[in-house]
Structure 1
Amino acid sequence: MKIDTILKEWQFVRQLSLDLLADQTEESLIEIPGPNMGALWKQFRHVGRVEEDYSEAIVNGKVEFSANHTSYSGGPDKESLRAYLLECDQKLLEAIPETGDISNFTIDWFGDSVGLDLHLVRLISHETLHHGQWIQFVKSKQSLDVVFPKSWEAWGV
């Protein structure tokens, strides 16, 4: 699959995340869905932090998941979270051209060498996994009157 096609899919998936974030209230962002789960705002922060790790892996050639080198220092403010996610998207796009000829480009995934295409597909898979979590979270908190954005009809909700 071409990188441009994968990036279009990434933009689609990320836009769903941004649309859901835009529709949240302050109350819904700080709500904790259950034991051992983070508030919804922390989940949005998490997908940004993971995207930063994916971008770093493109630059460095090795995946290392860590919250130690992330740039978000804000709180449960949806405008700050949105700006952060858009900044992460920009960093990802800036990292990709630096790879040059991607036919021989690989990233060390804990001892497994994967190409840029698979690396990006895994990023999409990660975000999509969180979409499933968010569907469950929002549906379990209907008392907050949270409605899914129209774009989420793509997921049947």
Structure 2
Amino acid sequence: MKSDGFIYAADMTNQLAEELPEQLWDKPLIDELGTIRKLFKHMIRVRGVYSSALKTGKVEFPGHLMPEDASISLELRRSTEELALAFEQTERTEILMYQEYITPDELLHIVIQHEGIHQGQYYIAFQQTGISVPEQWKMDWNM
């Protein structure tokens, strides 16, 4: 199964870690959202959950937290590569997600949607706090 759509979506998230100065990662943005550092850790953890699901056949939250001493930028890249490879190599035809069985294609759509939902949330927060979005976001989404 191709994973190009996921890689594109994940890279849009990963660009935040590459382009935003790290001192902004812990800045409170808006009450409804956590910091950008919390977003990064969340994305790494959830990508791991989905990667495991493609191997085990079951989506199991909450997943594993990344080690505190790990590089977030490297973990974002690693988790992207790991999940892309899991999609490309899966032989599963169905995956249990909560009480329903879904196909790997459906999981791919869920994963891409998950990336996009959080990007939209943080785009609004960045606009409200005066933080510039990555250049790719401006070019691809005309933001």
> Shared fold by TM > 0.5?
yes
% identical aligned pairs: 24
Structure 1 outlier segments of 4+, above 4 Å: none
**Take 2:142 and 2:89, find their aligned partners in 1: how far apart are those partners?**
37
Tell me the TM-score normalized by structure 1.
0.81
Q: Name the SS of the counterpart of 1:96 in structure 2.
A: helix
Preserved contact between residue 26 and residue 37 of structure 2 (Cα < 8 Å): yes
- Of 1, 8, 12, 1:12 maps to 8
**Take 1:53 and 1:106, find their aligned partners in 2: how far apart are those partners?**
15
Coordinate RMSD, CA, aligned: 2.0
Matched, 1:152 2:137: yes
Unmatched 5+ stretches in structure 2: none
With over 3 angstroms needed to count, the CA separation of the structure-2 counterparts of 1:10 and 1:99, relative to structure 1, is: closer
Matched, 1:107 2:101: no
Compute the displacement of 1:20 (Å).
2.1
Preserved contact between residue 74 and residue 81 of structure 1 (Cα < 8 Å): no
**Take 2:96 and 2:108, find their aligned partners in 1: how far apart are those partners?**
13
**Take 1:24 and 1:94, find their aligned partners in 2: how far apart are those partners?**
27
Aligned twin of 1:83: 74
**Take 1:150 and 1:96, find their aligned partners in 2: how far apart are those partners?**
28
**Take 1:136 and 1:109, find their aligned partners in 2: how far apart are those partners?**
30
**Take 1:94 and 1:18, find their aligned partners in 2: how far apart are those partners?**
17
Unmatched 5+ stretches in structure 1: none
With over 3 angstroms needed to count, the CA separation of the structure-2 counterparts of 1:16 and 1:108, relative to structure 1, is: same
Preserved contact between residue 30 and residue 125 of structure 2 (Cα < 8 Å): no
Preserved contact between residue 31 and residue 39 of structure 1 (Cα < 8 Å): yes
Matches within 5 A, 1:17-36: 17-35=13-31
Aligned twin of 2:40: 44
Tell me the TM-score normalized by structure 2.
0.88
